[in-house]
Amino acid sequence: MDDDRTTALADRLAEAALGALELYSVRLGDALGLYRTLAETGPLTPDGLATAADIAPRYAREWCEQQAVAGILDALPDGRFALPDAHVPVLVDPAHPAHAAPFGSLLAGVGIALDELIAAYRTGTGVPYAHYGAAFRHGQAGINRPAFSLELPDAWLGAARDLVDRLRDAPSPRIADLGCGEGWSTIALGRAFPHADVVGVDLDPGSIEDAARHAAEAGSDMRFELADAASLDGAFDLVLILEALHDVADPVGVLRAARGSLADDGALLVLDERVADEFTAPGDAVERLMYGWSVLHCLPASMAEQPSAALGTVLRASTVNRLAIEAGFTRFAELPIEHDFFRLYRLEG
């Protein structure tokens, strides 16, 4: 037995358990509004936090101490606990690029579905997206919100400058956001092209309800439809599928429907994972992260509908190209964007 390798793996799993526990504690702080309370009021004693956030004092004390031991809160000499200013963007500001609190919600959603996942692995069935609960839905939307709100309108669309110019010159362009989730990308598109008819489309009722609420709170008049790609009506100048193609059971059918909905000079933009060009083991941190999401969520969710292409999260560029060709597209290009987790593809023809 390779003792060094054995010890290394045991240590790594122990560290992973620590990380998982701390993410669950972040989920508590986020869901109960504890971080936001501390950010708004300043340092508090556990009893003060319990009163301000309406939680039980004993739980408040244990959570504050755990957060301080973890280095997330600062323990002050006078018995109060403070949320450092540097941690506010990570834990409280949902639009900040560093916002990472939604990882706790994602992990909580996987926990909800874990017993069903075990059964699915034995039977070859899937686990429907809705079975991961609102926690996963909110976590997925929250972790993508900064990129969709900040990078999509400028950096990502800027990689297709000719397409953007056409959209801005057109009197009433039409844009469809397929798999819009909770609508942050759709809202961003509406702000970038205020003269356009922008519609967000998704098959998940909870996501569409959340998207409509987010739009109303943002003062946006975006339309959201509970539908699939095949239901798109009319010719669209731009169709987007953002971080969703790998989740669908029939990716060729979705791409074919999107192609059929394009105007003569329209284009489809597909954003998906920045994984390696081919399988190599062991992989880097991004590859490990994407395979982690795949075995626990994306693959089982896509297999809930049969027949399924069962793509999984690790959607390589060559596979996207193959799917595009099968769907009838004649032009395929990867656009030059800088991002640790995403690639952007342009499909036409």
Cβ pair 30, 103 in contact under 8 A: no
Separation between Cα atoms, residue 343 and residue 272, nearest integer Å = 5
Residue 146 placed within a domain: yes
Quick one: which H or E segment has residue 48?
helix 46-53
pLDDT digits (tens, 9 = 90+) for 108-165: 999 999 999 999 999 999 999 999 999 999 999 999 999 999 999 999 999 999 999 9
> CA distances (Å), 108 to each of 26, 90, 135, 137, 139, in order?
10, 18, 6, 10, 9
> CA distances (Å), 219 to each of 147, 174, 191, 206, 216, in order?
20, 20, 11, 20, 5
Burial of 38 (0-12, 13-18, 19+ CB in 10 A): buried
Q: In this structure, are 304 and 191 located in the same domain?
A: yes
Separation between Cα atoms, residue 93 and residue 73, nearest integer Å = 16
Residue 46 placed within a domain: yes
Q: In this structure, are 110 and 201 located in the same domain?
A: yes
| pLDDT per residue as tens, the chain (349 positions) | 578 899 999 999 999 999 999 999 999 999 999 999 999 999 999 999 999 999 999 999 999 999 999 999 999 999 999 999 999 999 999 999 999 999 999 999 999 999 999 999 999 999 999 999 999 999 999 999 999 999 999 999 999 999 999 999 999 999 999 999 999 999 999 999 999 999 999 999 999 999 999 999 999 888 999 998 888 888 999 999 999 999 999 999 999 999 999 999 999 999 999 999 999 999 999 999 999 999 999 999 999 999 999 999 999 999 999 999 999 999 999 999 999 999 999 999 9
Cβ count near 18 (within 10 Å): 11
List all residues 6 or more positions away from 292 whose beta carbon is below 8 Å from its beta carbon.
none
Separation between Cα atoms, residue 156 and residue 71, nearest integer Å = 35
Look up residue 290 and give its two tokens: 């994407």
Cβ count near 32 (within 10 Å): 17
Residue 179 placed within a domain: yes
Residue 300 placed within a domain: yes
pLDDT digits (tens, 9 = 90+) for 185-225: 999 999 999 999 999 999 999 999 999 999 999 998 889 99
Q: In this structure, are 136 and 204 located in the same domain?
A: yes
Q: In this structure, are 128 and 45 located in the same domain?
A: no
Q: In this structure, are 148 and 225 located in the same domain?
A: yes
Q: Which residue has the tokens 């394009």?
A: 262
H-only helix segments in 147-230: 157-158, 161-169, 184-192, 205-217
Domain of residue 88, CATH code: 1.10.10.10
Burial of 263 (0-12, 13-18, 19+ CB in 10 A): middle
List all residues 6 or more positions away from 246 whose beta carbon is below 8 Å from its beta carbon.
272, 273, 298, 302, 311, 312, 313, 314, 315
Last residue of a domain, one of 32, 66, 92: 92
Q: In this structure, are 166 and 32 located in the same domain?
A: no
Total domains in the fold of the chain: 2
Last residue of a domain, one of 56, 73, 92: 92
Look up residue 265 and give its two tokens: 């000079």
Q: In this structure, are 111 and 229 located in the same domain?
A: yes
Q: In this structure, are 44 and 114 located in the same domain?
A: no
Q: In the chain, which ranges are E strands?
A: 74-75, 81-82, 174-178, 197-202, 223-226, 236-242, 262-273, 331-335, 342-348
Residue 97 placed within a domain: no
* Domain interval for residue 46: 3-92
Q: In this structure, are 58 and 80 located in the same domain?
A: yes
Last residue of a domain, one of 59, 92, 125: 92
Q: In this structure, are 54 and 124 located in the same domain?
A: no
Cβ pair 261, 225 in contact under 8 A: no
Q: In this structure, are 342 and 301 located in the same domain?
A: yes
Residue 98 placed within a domain: no
List all residues 6 or more positions away from 165 whose beta carbon is below 8 Å from its beta carbon.
none
Domain of residue 176, CATH code: 3.40.50.150
Separation between Cα atoms, residue 228 and residue 296, nearest integer Å = 24
Q: In this structure, are 130 and 253 located in the same domain?
A: yes
Q: Treating both helix axes as pointing N-terminal to C-terminal, what angle do 3-31 and 102-123 enclose, rounded to 10 degrees?
A: 120
Cβ pair 55, 90 in contact under 8 A: no
The DSSP secondary structure of 239-284, one letter per residue, reads: EEEES-GGG-S-HHHHHHHHHHTEEEEEEEEEEEE---SS--SS--
